[in-house]
Structures are given as C-alpha cells and as structure tokens.
Chain A
C-alpha cells in the first residue's frame, strides 16, 4: 500500500485516491497542429524511475495532486496540490 501525504488531509492510503496519469504532459493550444495533439494524447515517456503524475483524492478532499513517484519502487518523493486549494486561498485572503 502506498501512503500519500495529501497536503489538505494528511497521510492517507493510496486506495483513497484515483490515478490521473502522466502529469508531465502539457496539452497544446486548441488550434495547435494535429501532430502536437497526437503527441500529447498518444505518446508517453513511460519512465522507469521518478515521474510526475496526477492523483485525485477522490475519497477525501477531492483535490487533484501532482506527485513525483518512482514507478519502480513506488516511493513518493514530492506531493503538491495542482491547485492551491481552499485552505491556501483562505489563508492568503486573511
């Protein structure tokens, strides 16, 4: 079982999360050439080692997280919110 340290909820089992996929992809502009879209949608680095990926805390705060995880050892190196989230927003508004 992988433990993911959700920045909003604290450490949780990965079964609370759903996997979003390769987080390193930047999608091109809507009017970008077809080849750019083909590459973004279909081609993958498929890294054996540390890759950036997205997970959603579906059974918790439902926030999307960007996670650096080793695809060989399942070790998690870094977890950060894809979006600052309500907590951070509230803090900055004070």
Chain B
C-alpha cells in the first residue's frame, strides 16, 4: 500500500498518476472471523480499525450491504463538536474530538478536519443563561475552548447574519466552541477503510446480512448474501437498521425508533461562512457550514414521523428554507443543488447505546440520533474496547440498554421519552 506523502503526490503528479494502489482490497469473505462487524459505516470501520490497532485483533470482517460511504456516512452535515453538558456525553464527545484532532495523521489520510468554530446563536436571556451554564460546565471539565460571545464579537466574526432589530428572533449572542468544526465525510470513511485494511481487516462490500444463527445464547453464524460467515464475536453497528438486525438475532424490542433526517447542499459559492452556525428557537432549527468546495451544507429538524425510507418530505424543505432566510437572508437567491435523507436510530432519551446485549458474543452500537458523525472515532474506539475486553469502559458504563430500568435518562435536550423530539 502506498503511503500518502508530499513526495508521493509530487512524484505521481510528474508520472501521470500511475503509481497509486487500490485504497483497500476487494475482500472475499472467509469462512470464519474472530470478530464480524455488521455495518460498514464510519462507526463499523472505526471499530474494526481500533480492534486491529489498539487490541491486536486482526482477523476481523466488516460487512457492508451496499458500498462504503453510501449510507449515513454520506448523509450528514459533517459537523464535529463536543459541546455536551450531561455527564457521560461530555467526556465521551471530548474524547472523540481529541481523536479527530489527530485523525488525518493517524490514518495517513487527509480527512480535511477543519476546526473552524461551532457558533450556536442565542435569542433570549434564558437561552444565554442556559448556554452559560452548559459551557461553564464544559470549561470546568476539560473543554477550555467553550466561550459565550456578546453581539460585538459575534458581529465582527460573522458579519452577514441577520442582526436586524426587526428579525423574527433577534440575536443576543452566541455560545461558541472554537475547536469544533467540520470534516470531509467521504475522506473519513475511506481513510478508516484503508487504515483498517492495512492492518488485515477484510472490508466486504455488497454483503447483506440475511439471517443470524444462534446456539445457546451465542451467535454462531452470520448468513449473508455472499454465504455464511462464522463469527467469534459480533458487533452490530447499523444505524437505521438496528431493530431489523436485532429481530434477526431473535431478540425483542429496543428503545429505538427509525426516523429520517434531511440535509441539503447549495450550488458552490465564493467563501461566505467560515464557521458552523446553528440556530434553534422554538420549533425552528437550522445549522449551516460551507464546504471547502463552496457548497453551503445545511439541515434542520427530523421529518417528525417515523420512516425507513431514505427520502425526505417537502414541509421540512420549507421549514429549513424559512429558518435559513431568518438567519442568513443573503442566501435568498442561492440555488439548492441537492438534498437527501438518512435513516437514524432515534433513542428514547436522545443518547446512544454502546453496550453488551442479552447474547454473550453480541455487542451493540446504536441510537446516535442526530450525532453519529462527530462520534465516529470514539464510538469505534470504545466499541472495539468493549468487544476486546468484554467489559464496558468507565466512560460508556451508562450507555447500556438497561439504563431506563435504573431510572437514568441521558437526555441532553430534556425532551422526555419521545424519539422525534431529540433533535
């Protein structure tokens, strides 16, 4: 495998770009693996990579029913942040952000991680107080880049927001995390696939799981469209399809509903917005950043009703367009290039599950709601740790399926047990 370096780029530039290898092998499934990771998304690939790197488990397969980068890995708005206040979430996402900061070097793949600041607009004294509380908590617990900005600083940094006193929601200030930003989603997924492959992991595409064979509380064989695969341990990492796979394993109900989330990208523009800007007020929700190619990447709320279809609806397009106009009126004549929808596991408290399951050798990674992209490195890190060591790390101890029975809800939004409200 060719290592990427400035010299390689230069040399291939001079010699007709003929010296590059495949990024990862087109692996044919073997009969047996120590660990089978179901789901070749960001989380699944990261899990396989950290299994090999951190725990020396190299006989690993990642099964992907479609192609790498074709699911939710390519259906997000690429925002990375760790501005969480709940115990558990805070440490988890901060660990993830630290992994992001070194990811390009670690994977030898430019994931274009850009720490351009995450700016959450505040529109009421209550919102300012709430943000101050959360961001102070962050500052006191290891995220020194959390700041509350007043209007003068915000105006100087992001001049073209709607600061008019006549705005429907006049801006009072912003909660800012400076180390937050964006990354290139495709590069992350390809980088993890390549790095995992280099360490011996088989990345198997076009391999749909069609059945799961159990024997005495353990999974023995995964039936796939490319034949049966025996597995020592199985890690489930299939956002949007968790309930279906859970059913195949003969297990019951989960605290998860599948909803869809839409995202949008505009035609490329000249540099306009050098930060991630987030607006949320009442029922309106909007987040936007500009990709390095110039497209404005933005999104809003869930579609409000349960769905497995990877297509969105028009009322949300209208909602998002209205929110865009109220925050950044200068976008009014910008053309929409495309929009898409991904299916997400909305959990009952808005937080994820990284845990053991009723089956001895099945491990679950699910319920990321909105936030799966930024969590990718840490989700892979801790799921690999869980699979390898068979016990939850202290940081993920509370992200189990039984937490509701214990009376614990890790509810960042305070929205209660209603999946559609955890945006």
> A residues within 8 Å of B by Cβ?
1-2, 13-15, 18-19, 21-22, 34-35, 38-39, 41-46, 48, 51, 53, 55, 71-74
Contact = CB atoms under 8 A, between A and B. Distances in A.
Nearest to A34: B405
A49 B320 CA distance: 28
Interface of B: 243-244, 252-258, 304-309, 313-315, 348, 404-405, 417-418, 420
B70 to A, nearest CB: 18
Interface centre among A43, A46, A51, A53 (most CB of B within 10 A): A46
Nearest to A55: B305
A3 B124 CA distance: 37
Contacts of A21: 306, 418, 420
Contacts of B405: 34-35, 38
9 contacts: A13-B315, A19-B420, A21-B306, A22-B257, A22-B306, A39-B253, A44-B243, A44-B256, A72-B308
Contacts of B255: 42-44
B319 to A, nearest CB: 9
Given A21-B418, A21-B420, A74-B307, A1 B314 contact: yes
Contacts of B420: 19, 21
Given A41-B417, A51-B306, A71-B306, A46 B315 contact: no
Given A38-B405, A73-B309, A74-B307, A46 B418 contact: no
Given A1-B315, A15-B315, A74 B309 contact: yes
Nearest to B347: A42
B168 to A, nearest CB: 20
B87 to A, nearest CB: 20
Contact of B253 (A2, A19, A34, A45): A45
Given A1-B313, A45-B243, A46-B257, 12 more contacts: A15-B314, A19-B304, A19-B305, A19-B306, A44-B257, A46-B306, A48-B258, A51-B306, A55-B305, A71-B307, A72-B307, A74-B307
A48 B244 contact: yes
Contacts of B254: 43-44, 46
Nearest to B319: A15
A18 B404 contact: no
A21 to B, nearest CB: 7
User: Which 7 pairs across A and B sit closest by C-beta, in order of nearness?
Assistant: A46-B243, A43-B253, A19-B305, A15-B315, A42-B255, A42-B404, A48-B308
A5 B420 CA distance: 23
A34 B306 CA distance: 27
A42 B308 contact: no
A28 to B, nearest CB: 15
Contacts of B418: 21
Contacts of B307: 71-72, 74
A54 to B, nearest CB: 11
Interface centre among A2, A18, A71, A72 (most CB of B within 10 A): A71
Nearest to A15: B315
Contacts of B257: 22, 44, 46
A94 to B, nearest CB: 37
A48 B246 CA distance: 13
Contacts of A38: 404-405
A38 B255 CA distance: 10
A19 B258 CA distance: 14
Nearest to B252: A43
B402 to A, nearest CB: 10
Contacts of B313: 1-2, 14
A42 B304 contact: no
A28 B404 CA distance: 17
Contacts of B417: 41-42
A42 B315 contact: no
Contacts of A44: 243, 253-257
A43 B349 CA distance: 12
Nearest to B243: A46
Nearest to A72: B308
A72 B258 CA distance: 10
A72 B305 contact: no
A14 to B, nearest CB: 8
Given A21-B420, A38-B404, A46 B309 contact: no
A41 B417 CA distance: 7
Nearest to B311: A74
A73 B306 CA distance: 11
